[in-house]
Chain A
Amino acid sequence: DGGITQSPKYLFRKEGQNVTLSCEQNLNHDAMYWYRQDPGQGLRLIYYSQIVNDFQKGDIAEGYSVSREKKESFPLTVTSAQKNPTAFYLCASSIGTGLGTGELFFGEGSRLTVL
């Protein structure tokens, strides 16, 4: 089955620790995205990548880092610099990034809780 796999589903972290969330897709999509979802705030874009070895900051990139070494993979690291890391993180992909290609395919999400 084609889709997006995120892991882990739940993660607990102590303050001051970096954590990395995994995102893998087998849809052969060029573009991949990371969103953060908080109650009452909708989805906010953290980073996106249109092609391997290239990525751009979204609206709330501070305290996060990403890499795109392979087309299938787009891991997100939540660093200790992120002041409010407790959230639901969603990875998504799309066929392209031009207008009219906005159908995003989402993973099941990773819930990060900072203790």
Chain B
Amino acid sequence: QKEVEQDPGPLSVPEGAIVSLNCTYSNSAFQYFMWYRQYSRKGPELLMYTYSSGNKEDGRFTAQVDKSSKYISLFIRDSQPSDSATYLCATEGGGATNKLIFGTGTLLAVQP
């Protein structure tokens, strides 16, 4: 079993839709969770960084962590064509360092 699992998609939605992107992880010791956005042929950029359980909101984006079910989600409200990208979830892999474990990424296409 991979430590972080993510549905690769692709996911296609119409402009204005609410998008839900999800990951599951296996190790209950993970505490820090991230979502990165990667446009085609570019490096990833950090979107959201959360600690432990709960929600974090930033504009149209909400990151949610449910540690009881080892589930992390990213919601995008009022999705725009400019949101079309690959979204990668990641977690710090435990221990004393910040070494990240990434999901495989979900390719999102928002159709105008």
Q: Tell me how far the C-beta of B22 lies from the nearest C-beta in chain A, rounded to whole angstroms.
A: 15
Interface size on A, residues (CB 8 A): 27
* Choice from A40, A90, A97, A104 contacting B104 with Cβ under 8 Å: A40
A109→B38 CA distance, assembly (Å): 11
A103→B46 CA distance, assembly (Å): 7
Given known A90-B43, A108-B42, contact A102–B92 (CB-CB < 8 A)? yes
Q: Is there contact, CB below 8 Å, between B8 and A40?
A: yes
Q: Is there contact, CB below 8 Å, between A42 and B99?
A: no
Q: Is there contact, CB below 8 Å, between B41 and A98?
A: no
A59-115, CB < 8 A from B = 90, 92, 94, 96-109, 111
Contacts of B97 in A (CB 8 A): 97-99
Considering the complex, give the chain A residue whose CB is closest to the CB of B32.
Answer: A102
Q: Is there contact, CB below 8 Å, between B43 and A106?
A: yes
Contacts of A101 in B (CB 8 A): 98
1/0 per residue, CB under 8 A from A, across B71-112: the answer is 000000000000000001010100011111011110000000
- Flag whether B34 is at the interface (Cβ < 8 A): yes
- Flag whether A48 is at the interface (Cβ < 8 A): yes
Considering the complex, give the chain B residue whose CB is closest to the CB of A102.
Answer: B98
Q: Is there contact, CB below 8 Å, between A98 and B96?
A: yes
Q: Is there contact, CB below 8 Å, between B43 and A108?
A: yes
Given known A102-B32, A102-B34, A109-B41, contact A42–B96 (CB-CB < 8 A)? no
- Flag whether A41 is at the interface (Cβ < 8 A): yes
Q: Tell me how far the C-beta of B59 lies from the nearest C-beta in chain A, rounded to whole angstroms.
A: 18
A109→B42 CA distance, assembly (Å): 6
Interface residues of A (CB under 8 A from B): 4, 6, 31, 40-43, 45, 48, 90, 92, 94, 96-109, 111
Contacts beyond the supplied A6-B43, A42-B88, A97-B97: 19 A-B pairs with Cβ under 8 Å: A4-B43, A40-B104, A42-B104, A43-B88, A43-B100, A43-B102, A90-B44, A94-B98, A97-B98, A98-B97, A98-B98, A99-B32, A100-B98, A101-B98, A102-B32, A102-B90, A105-B46, A106-B45, A108-B41
A-B contact pairs, 30 of them (CB 8 A): A4-B43, A40-B8, A40-B104, A41-B104, A42-B6, A42-B104, A45-B100, A90-B43, A92-B43, A96-B98, A97-B99, A98-B96, A98-B97, A99-B96, A99-B97, A99-B98, A100-B32, A100-B51, A101-B98, A102-B32, A102-B49, A102-B92, A102-B98, A102-B100, A103-B34, A103-B49, A104-B46, A109-B41, A109-B42, A109-B43
